[in-house]
Chain A
Amino acid sequence: MFYRVPLSRRIFTIGNVFFLTFITFLCIVPFIHLLAVSLSSNVAASAGEVKLLPIGFTFEAYHFLGQKVEFIRSLGVSLQRVVLGTIISMFFIFITAYPLSKANSQFRFRTWYVWFFAITMFFGGGLIPTYIVVKETMLMNTIWALIIPGALNVWNMIMMLNFFRGIPKEMEEAALIDGAGHWTVLWKIYLPVSLPSIATIGLFTIVWHWNSWFDGIIYMNSPDKYPLQSYLFTLVTSINLKMITSDDISTLQNLSEKTLRTAQIFLGALPIMLVYPFLQKYFVKGMTVGSVKE
């Protein structure tokens, strides 16, 4: 069979590829620009000469970051937050999802508990009452303010719960008949089988903790307790204000440290850029399960 592609179709395809390439660039080029600025000499960067390739290539900004106290300190807070927060969150999610994944016949008050948790997905107290509660429970100015209030993410818990439901019931039933309790089933049967889904939800939690900055801003009294993203927030807003109050380019050029600033922002984005392609896959799966089911 001979099949000829009509001319109009060919023109459309070429235009389409061009357009989609353009959109793709739109999503990547800003980050390439950011990287290029951070790798340029400060003079070229401040003058706004750098576009997509570094001018006067140098690692100076990144070297200097090693001595920048605010950056190193906030990076430390972030790492602490990510590690502690993820471990605690995963414990909460794992141990809460197990009872709720049982059938009503197996766990009599299940429906009550499910409602108890589900309601919090739709109602919240809002910013100010939450702030007051965190303050009243003495978490202010400690790392726990960033970890405990959000420790049980109900959406993630439901994801875990749905995974538990997919585990074949035979092993569990056999164990229960042999006289094992639910604790044994949880640690000896469920934990080993669910490691992949723990890893997935764990990765989501890591990304969430790494990206959060607003809680750091409101719950920490002093900037030396800010996680990295909160520190970046202060950096970005202060420079934004300076740029607006100075209305000609010459004063802008006197704002030093442009390479340093872009280097820090780029490093704030880098871990996410490295892990998100893996997450994307699970994200697509999870979303489509929730949204396209008939």
Chain B
Amino acid sequence: MIKHSYLGSKKAKVELPLHLMLIPGVIVTLIYAYGPIFGIVMAFQKFQPASGFFHSKFVGWRNFEYIFNLPDFTQVIWNTFFIAVMKISLGLAIPLLLALLLNEIVRGWFQRIVQTSIFMPFFLSWAVLGGVMIEVFSLNGPVNSIISGLGLEPIMFMAKNNWFVSIIIGSDVWKGMGYNMIIFLAAIVGINASLYEAAEVDGAGRWKQMLNITLPGMAPIIILLCTLSLGSVLNAGFDQILVLYNPVVYESSDIIDTFVYRLGLFDQQYAPAAAVGLFKSVISVAMVSISYYLAYRFSKYRIF
């Protein structure tokens, strides 16, 4: 009967506008966020666009059997995992190094210029950055002119599997390093300055101070970023690879997301593609949950 007393009460009358304000957001979220979540049922259907989610025939696990028997699928999973892990580890290590080095410079215009420049690629889209990469690494581009200047053979970076993966990983680290560097710098700024003064009195040099004060002081944020990145072990960077890859390098750089894209939207095999997507989501959600749990345990991190 509590519900009735709320519906008629004065409190409900005051709160009514609050409910009304939420209507637009609730509708859009229901359709475009919960709709697709419900739509995952298609992974278990013989999905026909004409019959929709509600009237397509159920086929159980057949779509999953189909995709796991596709010849390239294991390679795709391995590519995804490899590229993602390399990006995560270098994407943390290099910004950490840069933050430590930048911290050794006296604060001022130089530091600001370095910081702002390094942050720039982060804000640009992969459509633009992909264009930049292709110009820079093309056969008659600047990188190859340096290589031939050294007397070596020019390299077709975009068409050789191992070079291509290195470029994918390297350019992603390049794009994102400003972001993590700033997080690390903020953590360094937060370290108690009196610790450094005490160390100086004790005769510790800058190297010793870095090892014994700065790094331990940053440990919580480093651990936090490491655990949170667990959640993206299957996110190898869809936009980037879609811009840069080509059939010649599928072997090394076709990842789950690009595979779903081609299978679903080019070959119109909607249901098997949705099954691959679901496979990835299940693993990702599990990893994200674990990472948030660990982040909460180790660093008391919460989003809300």
Binding site for B on A (CB under 8 A): 9, 12-13, 16-17, 19-21, 23-24, 26-28, 30-31, 33-34, 37, 47-48, 51, 91-92, 95-96, 98-100, 102, 106-109, 113-114, 116-118, 120, 122-137, 148-152, 157-158, 176, 181-183, 186, 207, 210-214, 218, 229-230, 232-233, 235-237, 239-241, 243-244, 247, 249, 252-253, 261-262, 265, 268-269, 272-273, 276-277, 279-280, 283-284, 287-288, 290-292, 294
Contacts and interface: CB of A to CB of B under 8 A. Distances in A.
Nearest to A248: B139
Interface SS of chain B: helix
A128 B304 contact: no
B127 A28 contact: no
Given A106-B15, A126-B281, A236-B130, 4 more contacts: A125-B40, A150-B32, A152-B29, A233-B130
Nearest to B94: A23
Contact of B28 (A92, A136, A182): A92
Contact of A207 (B25, B42, B116, B123): B123
Interface SS of chain A: helix
B118 interface: yes
Contact of B105 (A17, A124, A232): A17
A133 B36 contact: yes
A268 B127 contact: yes
Contacts of B11: 108
B127 A244 contact: no
A126 B36 contact: yes
A135 to B, nearest CB: 7
B277 A126 contact: yes
Interface residues of B, number: 101
B140 A252 contact: yes
B123 A276 contact: yes
B136 A16 contact: no
Interface in B235-290: 238-239, 242-244, 246, 248, 257, 260-261, 264-265, 270, 273-274, 277-278, 280-281, 285, 288
A113 B265 CA distance: 34
Interface of B: 6, 11, 14-15, 17-19, 21-22, 24-26, 28-29, 31-40, 42, 49, 52-53, 98, 101-102, 104-105, 110, 113-114, 116-121, 123-125, 127-128, 130-136, 138-142, 145, 154, 156, 158-159, 174, 178-179, 182-183, 186-187, 190, 205-206, 221, 224, 238-239, 242-244, 246, 248, 257, 260-261, 264-265, 270, 273-274, 277-278, 280-281, 285, 288, 300-301, 303-304
B40 A27 contact: no
B39 A129 contact: yes
A269 B124 contact: yes
16 contacts: A16-B101, A24-B113, A24-B114, A27-B178, A31-B120, A48-B140, A95-B21, A96-B24, A118-B304, A120-B33, A129-B36, A129-B38, A152-B28, A233-B127, A236-B131, A292-B187
Given A126-B277, A127-B277, A129-B40, A136 B52 contact: yes
A138 to B, nearest CB: 12
Given A20-B114, A30-B132, A108-B6, A124 B21 contact: no
A129 B34 CA distance: 10
